[in-house]
Structure 1
């Protein structure tokens, strides 16, 4: 099996930090870029980058490979693949350094950038360098979500009548994930309308209620919860043949078909008995790297590239621009 050399820039939470969460039994988990490259047979993890000496030492001790303080030092080890796991406002500057190393692919955490112009430049520069820019909207790769898309594509549930999305912690932070996910299922939105502006969060994010209309005719209503109460990541799909309940960000996906009522004959109701669509969120990052490997080896299309991520960012910008005081939101 051919192997590609991989490096991780940013050794915090998603880069490697979740590997050390004492609350988790990490034995069967694959939640970080470092562990995904380490566990996948198609990659060899050869280096990491972070300005923090403490994080570099952790990385070196766990993976027994080199770690550097600066991106430019990756030239020493010449990786084929580089993950960008730094804070969003640093994505563009780190990308500009990484792309000059001429990697085969760059895996960038979402959002691609905090600025649409920067995002567009990143997409164009990656194309000009024949470098895949994969943006890590994880649900487009996880096996349960891929299976759910197949069922939508083959009309297994019949026509999708309406979708309701309940999210919290802001449209930039969490809402964008589900805009991107529904675009994966139904194609890009063609219309958006803010229904309620919601509150502005301390990090300049916002929690609007809004409507998205997708090009296949589906209407999706997004309603913001309050993260101070609890984290909300729930979706209900109302379809011609039943309902799909999407729980806790995709940890559990359950389809409830319709049946004839046991009390009122010829009266159709939603069954109490659901059919699970199995997911594997304990290893979500591995599925991203599996999709990357399939692209590199077999030229399979990438389900979450720079262009699709940019489309999501443009939708978010349109929604925020409809809110008053929009100039305070970046």
Structure 2
């Protein structure tokens, strides 16, 4: 079996930190790029890159592989696959260095860039170099979300009446995950309207309430919470045949079908008994890498590429534009 060499640029939280303290051979949790390459049978983790001395030392200690100060030092290895896990405002500059090394694929953390222009340039450059660009919208790969999409495609829930999305920590940082996910389920948005401005997070992100209408006719209302209260990543799908509760960002997905009331004759109600959709969210990053392997080895299309991420970025850009035109509204 062929193994593809892989390197991780950026050894912070998503690069290696989130599951760093777990045993290197533990397989039931996989939250970072480094762990996913290390755990997957189709890859060999060959290097890391970071400007932090301590992060490089931790990488070398755990994964027994070299860690470099600069991307240019990867030239001596030329990995088949390179993950970009640096802050989003650095994505474009790191991407330009990485793609010149000639990798077969680049896995870039979301959002693809803070700049729509830069995102477009990255997508076009990857296409011109015949390099697969995956953007790490993890829910497009995780098995519970894929099963839910199949159920939507089979029309198991009947007509989708409305969708409510509850998010916090910004439309760019977290809201974009669910814009992208609903686009995966229902087609790209065809209409966008900011309803209420909400909070401003520093100079880089915002938390408005907004409405999106998707290609298949589904309306989704995004409602912002307050991150300082608690982090919220929940979706409620109101359907013809019941209600789907999508909880804690996808950790738990439950379907509550319509039932007949035992008290009021012929009165339809939401059942108190749920039908779970099996998820494996503790290993979400492994599923991204597995999809990448299936593409490289078998030519299987990837569910989240640069173009789909660019479409999400376009929607986010429209939300920011409308937000900035709503002076004085709270």
Per-residue displacement from partner, 1:239-295 (whole Å, max 9, x unpaired)?
111000011111100000001111112211110000110111111100000000111
Say whether 1:289 aligns with 2:293.
no
Matches within 5 A, 1:142-221: 142-221=142-221
Q: 1:236 is matched with which residue?
A: 236
SS at match of 2:55: helix
Residue of structure 2 equivalent to 1:15: 15
Contact 1:320/1:326 (8 A) holds in 2: no
Structure 2 partner of 1:102: 102
Provide the residue aligned with 1:277 in structure 2. Answer: 277
CA apart distance, 1:326? 8.0
What is the CA-CA distance between 1:27 and the residue it aligns to? Answer: 6.2
Structure 1: how far apart are the matches of 2:172 and 2:311? 13
Partner SS for 2:316: helix
Q: Distance in 1 between matches of 2:276 and 2:270?
A: 15
3-state SS in 1 of match to 2:15: coil
Per-residue deviation at 1:148? Answer: 0.3
Task: Check whether the contact 2:27–2:39 (CA below 8 A) recurs between aligned residues.
Answer: no
Q: Which residue of 1 aligns with 2:121?
A: 121
CA apart distance, 1:173: 1.0
CA-based RMSD of the aligned residues comes to 1.5
| Residues 197 and 326 in structure 2, CA contact (< 8 A), matched pair in contact too | no
1:61 corresponds to which residue?
Answer: 61
Q: How do residues 37-52 of structure 1 correspond to structure 2 at under 5 angstroms?
A: 37-52=37-52
| SS of aligned partner of 1:60 | helix
- Aligned partners of 1:181, 1:90: CA distance in 2, in Å? 24
Contact between 1:191 and 1:214, CA under 8 Å: does it hold in 2? yes
C-alpha distance after superposition, 1:32-91 (max 9, x if no partner): 000000000000000111111111111111111111111011011110000000010110
Counterpart Cα distance in 2 of 1:103 and 1:287: 20
1:204 Cα deviation from its structure 2 partner? 2.7
Q: Name the CA distance, whole Å, in 1 between partners of 2:85 and 2:308.
A: 19
Aligned 8 A contact 1:16 1:59 in 2: yes
Q: Where does structure 1 lack aligned partners over 5 or more consecutive residues?
A: none
Cα distance in structure 2, aligned partners of 1:195 and 1:216: 22
Q: CA–CA distance in 2 between the matches of 1:41 and 1:118?
A: 34
Match of 2:134 in 1: 134
Measure, in 1, the Cα distance between the counterparts of 2:282 and 2:161: 31
Residue equivalent to 1:314: 314
Q: 1:187 to 1:246 in 2, by over 3 A?
A: same
Using the size of structure 2 for normalisation, the TM-score is 0.96
Deviations 1:153-198 (CA, angstroms, capped at 9, x unpaired): 1101111110001111111111111100100100100000011011
Task: Name the structure 2 match of 1:253.
Answer: 253
Tell me the number of residue pairs that the alignment of Structure 1 and Structure 2 aligns.
325
